[in-house]
Structure 1
Amino acid sequence: MGNILTVVLLIILVLLIISAAFVVKQQTSAILERFGRYNSIRNSGLQFKIPLVDKVAGRINLKVQQLDVFVETKTKDDVFVGLKVSVQYQVVKDRVYDAFYKLESPSAQITSYVFDVVRAEVPKMKLDDVFERKDDVANAVKAELNDAMQDYGYDIIKTLVTDIDPDQQVKEAMNRINASEREKVAAEFEAEAERIKIVAKARAEAESKRLQGQGIADQRREIARGLEESVDVLNNVGINSQEASALIVVTQHYDTLQSIGGETNSNLILMPNSPQAGSEMLNNMIASFTASSQIGEQMKKQNEKKELQQKENKSGKK
């Protein structure tokens, strides 16, 4: 009987010793209470307490934690939008007592402040401003949370607006606007490209016409030079200018006939086309040139006579 009692006592003693020791993890603090009253704060490592007297009331995480809060509100231009605000916070190591005893639910408290700040700031902005000034919203949330949570032993590390989600109809409208803007820009580029093509084509045609005209002018200049040389050669052999001009015209006439005759698919008929046509053409041209020359000489004499009479009249008046 005595041996059994001894064994029981030993077992109880071992259990009391085991219950007296406890381990606190890294980046964690344990709150120790004695008879339900705060006693001390124990940090990481192996710790001891008085069995049946002291009790670990709770543990506080000292790591940086993140809380994501989704808030739905309305902008200044009456667009409903949902914002996802991520709050990174941490318990101040020197204020574990306040964090444990003063605040029952830190996440609920932070969520309430986020709702309050976002619904106060976003209605002042239009939808486009919310996207452009999301950092301003995040900074306003951080400033409000810092003022409120410091009394509870919490430090707000950073706040971020990680998502902005407008109403589905608004997003579809925005997509249509963006698509229209892109189509407008694309149309402007296409029109500009077409204009450049038209201008380049017009310049090329103008240059072609200029070169073509220059070529025709050069061709006519060379023909005139050739005719002049031909007339000089014929004059050297005793043929006057009128006869030489007629002969050159007739020669060109027959060259033309020969060129047309060389065409296999030509249906052109020249009138008159008798053997005497060339001789008649030559005689007619010589007669025309002679008549023209005579008329020119008569007109020249008449002009000289008129000028002489005018001079005599002027001298008589003086």
Structure 2
Amino acid sequence: MFIFDLLGGLFSIALVLIVVGALTGNLFFVVKQQHAVIIERLGKFNRIVGAGFHAKIPLIDRKAATVSLRTMKNGFDIDVKTQDNVTIGLEVSAQYHVSYEMGAGPADSGVYKSYYMLQQPVAQMRDFITDALRSSIPVYTLDEVFAKKDDIAKDVNATVSEQMDAYGFTLVSTLITKIALPAEVEDSMNQINAAQRTKAAAQDLAEADRIRRVTEAKAEAEAMEKAGEGIANQRKAIALGIKDSLETIQETGVGNDEANQLFMFTQWTEMMNEFAKSGRASTVVLPTDFRDSASMFEQIIAAEQVAKDDAGTQA
């Protein structure tokens, strides 16, 4: 009889708990997708439940925490010093999530560790990343930090990932999104860049001027070469013309001396005709007999020089 009374009492208590739980919403609960809920029974860890519909014992079981399994982002700023003693500001972005590893038992899972093993996991992860960056940046110069920022971030991510894994977090990536310089350093770098661009522009202009001068020199040399060839051909043509003229005169039976004198007379006559056609008011004294002139060539040159001087005076 006593046993039946005891069972009846327990059934009544259970019935009351069910009714109270149903009325207060403490009996059934739903876990959203990409979330996990930690259930404690009388203050002690009991189990981890995933997405779906679940039930718990009212007043005995409680939802200790709802843990998100989605990837989260945390950004922060830190100041570090480079090898060449330049203090720079870094904007850092970290992507992380609670580890999906279940382990051998619930206590080895990422959800369990992320809740029970670290009071402020996000703040601790930030401290780990800050310490890693302040340890690695000082071995690089300012220029190397800009050139190798992705490699530095990967090394920091690998180091901090191992540390955070013990607390149930997976560090997906660590990014250095911005490098801020002091105003005076930025101005100096801008001046250096401007000077380098000015130097490069001056070198380009000098190279262009050199090419122009070389091209002009080559063109002038080629022109002089062509002019020389023209003069040589002209002289050759004159010589051939004189030769042909003498041969023509000699074919008429005239002797060599007479032929030469006739040719010289012809040249002298043409010279006088050209002088008369010029119309200049210069006076040139010439011998009446061209045979008396032993230096006809010098006299012709003298006449041409007088004509040039007279033209210069009129101008």
Q: 1:269 aligns with which of 279, 282, 289?
A: 282
1:77 aligns to what SS in structure 2? coil
Which residue of structure 1 aligns with residue 78 of structure 2?
71
Which residue of structure 2 aligns with residue 252 of structure 1?
267
Which residue of structure 2 aligns with residue 157 of structure 1?
172
Letter in 2 for 1:180: A
Equivalences, count: 270
Which residue of structure 1 aligns with residue 4 of structure 2?
none
Letter in 2 for 1:78: N
2:94 aligns to what SS in structure 1? strand
The alignment status of 1:88 with 2:95, answered yes or no, reads yes
Letter in 1 for 2:268: H
Deviation at 1:25, TM superposition (A): 1.0
Structure 1 distance, partners of 2:131, 2:26, is 46
Which residue of structure 1 aligns with residue 117 of structure 2?
102
Normalised to the residue count of structure 2, the TM-score between the two structures is 0.77
Deviation at 1:226, TM superposition (A): 1.5
Q: 1:45 aligns with which of 52, 61, 64?
A: 52
Q: 1:283 aligns with which of 288, 291, 312?
A: 291
Contact 2:22–2:28, Cα closer than 8 Å, also in 1 = no
Which residue of structure 2 aligns with residue 147 of structure 1?
162
Q: Structure 1, unaligned stretches of length 5 or more?
A: 1-8, 290-318
Q: CA 1:268/1:86 → structure 2, altered by over 3 Å: closer, same or farther?
A: farther
Name which one, 1 or 2, has greater alpha-carbon Rg.
1
CA distances 1:265-285 after superposition (whole Å, capped 9, x unpaired): x53525137xxx5xx232314
Structure 1 distance, partners of 2:211, 2:56, is 89
Deviation at 1:110, TM superposition (A): 0.9
Which residue of structure 1 aligns with residue 301 of structure 2?
none
CA distances 1:11-36 after superposition (whole Å, capped 9, x unpaired): x7585373322221111111122333
Normalised to the residue count of structure 1, the TM-score between the two structures is 0.76
Equivalent positions of 1:1-318 (< 5 A) are 15-16=22-23, 18-93=25-100, 94=102, 95=109, 96-263=111-278, 267=280, 269-272=282-285, 280-285=288-293, 288=294
Contact 1:31–1:59, Cα closer than 8 Å, also in 2 = yes
Deviation at 1:130, TM superposition (A): 1.4
Q: Structure 2, unaligned stretches of length 5 or more?
A: 1-15, 103-108, 296-315
Deviation at 1:59, TM superposition (A): 1.0
CA distances 1:135-167 after superposition (whole Å, capped 9, x unpaired): 442233223312321221112222222222222
Letter in 2 for 1:195: R
CA distances 1:210-233 after superposition (whole Å, capped 9, x unpaired): 111111111111211211222233
**The 10-residue stretch of structure 1 (166-175 or 118-127) with the greater mean CA deviation from structure 2:** 166-175
Letter in 2 for 1:68: G
CA distances 1:110-134 after superposition (whole Å, capped 9, x unpaired): 1111111111111122111212232
Contact 1:250–1:281, Cα closer than 8 Å, also in 2 = no
Contact 1:246–1:282, Cα closer than 8 Å, also in 2 = no
2:284 aligns to what SS in structure 1? coil
CA distances 1:213-254 after superposition (whole Å, capped 9, x unpaired): 111111111211211222233234354433433332332233
Contact 1:20–1:50, Cα closer than 8 Å, also in 2 = yes
CA RMSD of superposed structures (Å):
2.5
1:19 aligns to what SS in structure 2? coil
Contact 2:98–2:169, Cα closer than 8 Å, also in 1 = yes
Contact 1:30–1:60, Cα closer than 8 Å, also in 2 = yes
